[in-house]
């Protein structure tokens, strides 16, 4: 079972709102990811959590705040977003996220995504 | 730095016809290669992957891909497409790690597949 579950599927929020996107996986994976995808573009990496610690932040604005409460859950807290932040937000997971001189072969599994519209 | 090129932005194929989607990569060592499919309004689904061994890999939904090191290619093929194959297809490469590297995927820009009856 390679399932990553994301909620909500659709979210409309105003620029002054605070909302959260949620992601859950039960595959025993220890790495979880947030990607942002604009229409007709490939996904862009935002954050990587490895063993519940933030491993990568791709210079994402602070109005996006990730949280990893445990190894199965990943949240993305949203505050004071801009209309240009409207996009599909994809959560993903993999067994591990490695750095250094280690040959890998990690497979990343994606969720269905959360469509975010900022008005 | 690694990169992935999908030269075809949009391909139209008749239902029942064969399909080949092109993917070329640039990387200094043997990469790990993936094909993902994204149906309209959906997330990404893994079609197949190549890590090592047999250079012809089989995936889900009747897809296969062949790794050709000499051409730096990993083209996706299907002998007979179905209307449900209409989607966006992304090729991606993962790194052989170095002391200064990490395990980030690099995606191509995608190929949109349209199926005509």
* Residues 56-95 (A) with a CB less than 8 A from some CB of B: 56, 88, 90, 92
Residue from the list B43, B52, B109 with its beta carbon closest to the beta carbon of A113: B43
Per DSSP, B102 falls in state B
A to B CB pairs, distance under 8 Å: 75
Asked if B94 reaches chain A (Cβ–Cβ under 8 Å), the answer is yes
Give me the residue from A92, A98, A113 closest to B103, CB to CB. A98
Query: For chain A, which ranges sit under pLDDT 70?
Result: 1-2, 99-105
Q: Is B39 on the interface with A (CB under 8 A)?
A: no
Cβ of A53 under 8 Å from any chain B Cβ?
no
Q: Given this model, what pLDDT does residue A93 score?
A: 93
Spell out the residues 6+ positions from residue A6 whose beta carbon is closer than 8 angstroms to its own: A21, A22, A23, A24, A89, A90, A91, A111, A112, A113, A114, B43
Cβ atoms A4, A91 nearer than 8 A: yes
Give the C-alpha separation, A99 to B102, whole Å: 4
Q: Which of B52, B53, B57, B105 to mutate to test the interface with A (most CBs of A within 10 A)?
A: B105
Tell me if A83 sits within 8 A of B79, measured CB to CB.
no
The mean-pLDDT minimum among A77-81, B13-17, B71-75, B101-105 falls in B101-105
Is A42 close to B94, i.e. CB distance below 8 A?
no
Q: Inform me whether the pLDDT recorded for B98 exceeds 60.
A: no
B102 with A99: Cβ contact below 8 A: yes
pLDDT greater than 60 at residue B99:
no
């Amino acid at each position: 079972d390679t399932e990553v579950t994301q909620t909500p599927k659709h979210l409309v929020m105003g620029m002054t709102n605070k909302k959260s996107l949620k992601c859950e996986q039960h595959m025993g994976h220890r790495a979880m990811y947030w990607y942002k995808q604009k229409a007709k573009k490939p996904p862009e990496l935002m954050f990587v959590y490895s063993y519940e610690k933030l491993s990568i932040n791709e210079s994402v604005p602070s109005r996006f705040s990730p949280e990893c409460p445990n190894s199965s859950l990943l949240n993305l807290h949203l505050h004071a977003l801009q209309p240009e932040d409207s996009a599909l937000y994809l959560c993903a997971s993999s067994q591990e996220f490695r750095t250094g001189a280690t040959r890998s072969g990690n497979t990343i599994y994606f969720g269905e995504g959360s469509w975010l519209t900022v008005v | 730095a690694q990169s992935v090129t999908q030269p075809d932005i949009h391909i139209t194929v008749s239902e029942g016809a064969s399909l080949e989607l092109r993917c070329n990569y640039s990387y200094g060592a043997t990469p790990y290669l993936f094909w993902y499919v994204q149906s309209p309004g959906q997330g990404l689904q893994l079609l197949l992957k190549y890590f090592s061994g047999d250079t012809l890999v089989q995936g889900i939904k009747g897809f296969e891909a062949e790794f050709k090191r000499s051409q730096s290619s990993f083209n996706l093929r299907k002998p007979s497409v179905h209307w449900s194959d209409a989607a966006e297809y992304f090729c991606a490469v993962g790194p052989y790690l170095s002391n200064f590297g990490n395990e980030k995927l690099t995606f191509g820009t995608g190929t949109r597949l349209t199926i005509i009856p």
